[in-house]
Structure 1
Amino acid sequence: MSYYDYGAGSRNGRWRYILAVFVFIVFLVMGGLLASNYRNVGNLVKVVSLVRTQYLYPVSSTQLMDGAIKGLVNSLSDPYSVYLDPKTFSHLQEQIRGSFGGLGILVGVKEQYLTVVRAYQGTPAAREGIREGDVIARIDDRDAKGIDLDTAINLMRGPVGSKVNLGINRQGVPEQLQFTLTREEISVPTVEGRALEGNSIEHIVISQFTERTADEIKEVLAKVKTEKIKGIILDLRDNPGGELNSAVEVAKNFIPKGPIVYIDNRVGREQVYESEGKTIQLPFVVLINGGSASAAEILAGAVKDTGAGVLVGTKTFGKGIVQTVFRLDGGAGLKLTTARYLTPAKNDIHEKGIQPDILVQSQDDRLHDVQLDKAVEILKEKIAIAG
């Protein structure tokens, strides 16, 4: 169904029609709840009428409909369930595919502040000098404090060649730094590997899980097999998650035959994702921290419960619920919490997190990566024992 914004001309008759359609939709959506909530439905209709007739500025029917849908979803008090307008939904799809028009930075929310987790080499953000740990205070004319990630991504991404202004607060710099960046086509690898300790240990960083991640990990592991690597460090620190299927496919390279994760929905129907046991036959350590969330915790939880590797670092974020993305008419979408996941031992980690096997706090000065150092130490011991 299409909705139109009518002018002041013959507004009354047309507006009554739109209002009737709106009420009809409410009746369909609310169903059996109407009997006990008829007063609220009446108030809703009255508020819509008052906004259309008394509000200082004109408001389109589309704007009211979008607001009603957003309000319905927001009433769930679930930060992970979100109504996505067409532009935001398009950006989410780009993120899942792993290619988009943007700046080349990975961001997270830390104490209500949008914080740069990483600026990828060769991208506009890296070339202009944006660094890990920078706090994004403004995006164009929008205050970024308290902003949610979906909105932030929506603001920073856009057509290739367009510009965006960022106000950056940097530790040790008293004044706010101003950057004007030109968006480019960004295809950021989600998996990067580098050799350590005389090429005996491979340090593999997975920054997020997209449709490309499973293929990228296979490429890195294929290289590992040809270079006589003796141990692997799988780095999931500050990995915010991503696609469930992607995390499962990555896990199959490391988790022995059996369950990787259980998915449990509201009616108790359980789905299990399993590994066939075709794993890389090398000792490995997994690095985790408070920024390891969602799909990253699926992999970490499977490693912990099966004992396949050793978890090093700090407790993970604790997001043990699954969102399904639904396509709506007009290019919009709905990201809705539809299930929870359980680890192979059927532990529910939501709002609890996963504890590491070996607790190692990171240092604030970041001069030394003590967590990585510990992982290397553990692997060297395992390699020595294996001979």
Structure 2
Amino acid sequence: MTNYHRTGSRWIRWLAALSVVVFLIIAAFGGMLASNYKHLGTLLEVIHLVRTRYLEPVSATTLVDGAIRGLVKSLNDPYSVYLDPGEYARLQEQIRGSFGGLGILVGIKDEYLTVVRSYPDTPAQRAGIKQGDVITRIDGRDARGMDLDTAVSMMRGAVGTEVKLTIARKGVPQPWDVKLVREEISVPTVEGRMISGKGIGYISLTQFTEKTPEELEATISRLKKEGMRAVLLDLRNNPGGELRSAVKVASYFIPRGPVVYIQYRSGREETYASEGKNLNLPLVVLINRASASAAEILAGAVKDTRAGILVGEKTFGKGIVQTVFDLDNGAGLKLTTARYLTPSRHDIHKKGITPDVVVEQEPQAEVDLQLERAIEILESEMARAA
């Protein structure tokens, strides 16, 4: 009898808390739930069954988190994600450009998490992880079909902690496990060098973080001093990043005017514009199938304003914008809230941007055909301007 009383008391407290949750749900969704009351009853029934019949005890926090994830997942939008406090903290680190991690840039290719780049002197590079490697599992969890933010958040974490990756490589019969210890990673997003004897400054942007415009300004200043007379901008394998960063970067390459239009569900539209401090140098931009999101904003602006020539392959085709919302429990919600249009008002979502000069490139090819063609075009442009 005593045990029953304690269990009953806990259940009464749980029902009281649940009633508050249900009230808040009804208040938030109003008429929508009024017309779907049977579904709400089913929800309560499932919660009751899980709490009373499931083999193992489940906390209220776990159930509520699961309900939130399920709600967001029901949108069938891979870019809208509920981030628990740990995941949200890692996303904020990514935006800032400094984090505890492994030193690899990853993307999604054919549903698989694929290594785009392994940075020098990082745990991943020292473990022999290379471009093109496929990460099939993270800490034992199947990575196939996993959204990119979840994968990145699982690989990042506190400095000194360990993560296990299962790696598959073309030509190697069996996947293998690699245990890595996270380190403080501050990866530059901009790399620049002069192409020997040609007056061409090669600038690679690997992603867009809050630090990218500052890094780009320093790189451009250095290359100018080294005699840069033309720019080869490499956006290949750039998965995107922070919108305002991409707009600031665009100001170095396109004339004054719109960079991108952002359209919201309400019909409201925002225009992000270039400040018009562009370099006015011959410009070629390299793009490929893994150039996405903010990288496509920049590439689309260059193409529409005819500020440069795009060379390579059609881009990924991500023409939607996510807003990150702070939640009261330290978690975050990354939600698709708008679409973007290029300066000529092209919607590139699920379409991509077609380059002016198409050059296919095998990932493991010894010769960079896209780079060679870009140099040829710039040399021709420079000769014409001379």
TM range (shorter): over 0.9
State the partner residue of 2:252. 253
Matches within 5 A, 1:275-290: 275-290=274-289
Alpha carbons 2:103, 2:124 under 8 Å: kept: yes
Q: Partners in 1 of 2:116 and 2:363 — Cα distance?
A: 14
State the partner residue of 1:132. 131
State the partner residue of 1:95. 94
Q: Partners in 2 of 1:38 and 1:143 — Cα distance?
A: 36
Q: Partners in 1 of 2:165 and 2:38 — Cα distance?
A: 46
Deviation by residue 1:177-222 (Cα, 9 ceiling, x = unmatched): 3322111000000010121142511111101100000101101111
State the partner residue of 1:269. 268
Alpha carbons 1:313, 1:358 under 8 Å: kept: yes
Matches within 5 A, 1:1-387: 8=7, 10-198=9-197, 200-387=199-386
SS of match in other structure, 1:296: helix
Q: Partners in 1 of 2:174 and 2:347 — Cα distance?
A: 44
SS of match in other structure, 1:324: strand
Identity %: 62
Q: Partners in 2 of 1:136 and 1:364 — Cα distance?
A: 17
Give, in angstroms, the shift of residue 265 of structure 1: 0.6
Counterpart amino acid of 2:385? A
Deviation by residue 1:17-62 (Cα, 9 ceiling, x = unmatched): 0121121122122112122111111111111111111111111111
SS of match in other structure, 2:285: strand
Q: Partners in 2 of 1:34 and 1:134 — Cα distance?
A: 47
SS of match in other structure, 1:262: strand
Give, in angstroms, the shift of residue 102 of structure 1: 0.5
Deviation by residue 1:55-90 (Cα, 9 ceiling, x = unmatched): 111111111111111121112111111111111111
RMSD: 1.3
Q: Partners in 2 of 1:339 and 1:90 — Cα distance?
A: 23
Long gaps (5+) in structure 1: 1-6
SS of match in other structure, 1:260: strand
Give, in angstroms, the shift of residue 272 of structure 1: 0.7
Counterpart amino acid of 1:242? G
Counterpart amino acid of 2:69? K
Q: Partners in 2 of 1:70 and 1:234 — Cα distance?
A: 39
Higher mean alpha-carbon deviation, 136-145 vs 111-120, is at 136-145
Q: TM-score, normalised by structure 1?
A: 0.96
Give, in angstroms, the shift of residue 281 of structure 1: 2.2
Counterpart amino acid of 1:229? M
Counterpart amino acid of 2:64? M
Give, in angstroms, the shift of residue 363 of structure 1: 2.6
Q: Partners in 2 of 1:14 and 1:368 — Cα distance?
A: 68
Q: Partners in 1 of 2:153 and 2:263 — Cα distance?
A: 31
Give, in angstroms, the shift of residue 143 of structure 1: 2.2
Give, in angstroms, the shift of residue 364 of structure 1: 4.7
Give, in angstroms, the shift of residue 145 of structure 1: 2.0
Instruction: Give the 3 Å change call, closer, same or farther, for CA 72–178 of structure 1 in structure 2.
Output: closer
Q: Partners in 2 of 1:32 and 1:227 — Cα distance?
A: 65
Counterpart amino acid of 2:278? T
Higher mean alpha-carbon deviation, 86-95 vs 67-76, is at 67-76
Q: Partners in 2 of 1:182 and 1:97 — Cα distance?
A: 21
Give, in angstroms, the shift of residue 11 of structure 1: 1.2
Alpha carbons 1:209, 1:241 under 8 Å: kept: yes
Q: Partners in 2 of 1:43 and 1:9 — Cα distance?
A: 22
SS of match in other structure, 1:254: coil
Q: Partners in 2 of 1:381 and 1:252 — Cα distance?
A: 25
Counterpart amino acid of 1:266? R
Deviation by residue 1:90-137 (Cα, 9 ceiling, x = unmatched): 110010001000100001111121111000011111112111111112
Give, in angstroms, the shift of residue 8 of structure 1: 3.9
Counterpart amino acid of 1:149? L
Instruction: Give the 3 Å change call, closer, same or farther, for CA 14–229 of structure 1 in structure 2.
Output: same
Alpha carbons 1:363, 1:370 under 8 Å: kept: no
State the partner residue of 1:3. none
Counterpart amino acid of 1:105? I
Q: Partners in 2 of 1:264 and 1:198 — Cα distance?
A: 45
Long gaps (5+) in structure 2: 1-5
Q: TM-score, normalised by structure 2?
A: 0.96
Give, in angstroms, the shift of residue 290 of structure 1: 0.9
Counterpart amino acid of 2:83? L
Deviation by residue 1:272-309 (Cα, 9 ceiling, x = unmatched): 11112111121110001111111001000100100000
Q: Partners in 2 of 1:181 and 1:55 — Cα distance?
A: 36
Alpha carbons 1:165, 1:179 under 8 Å: kept: yes
Q: Partners in 2 of 1:12 and 1:362 — Cα distance?
A: 62
Alpha carbons 2:162, 2:180 under 8 Å: kept: yes
Aligned length: 381
Give, in angstroms, the shift of residue 16 of structure 1: 1.6
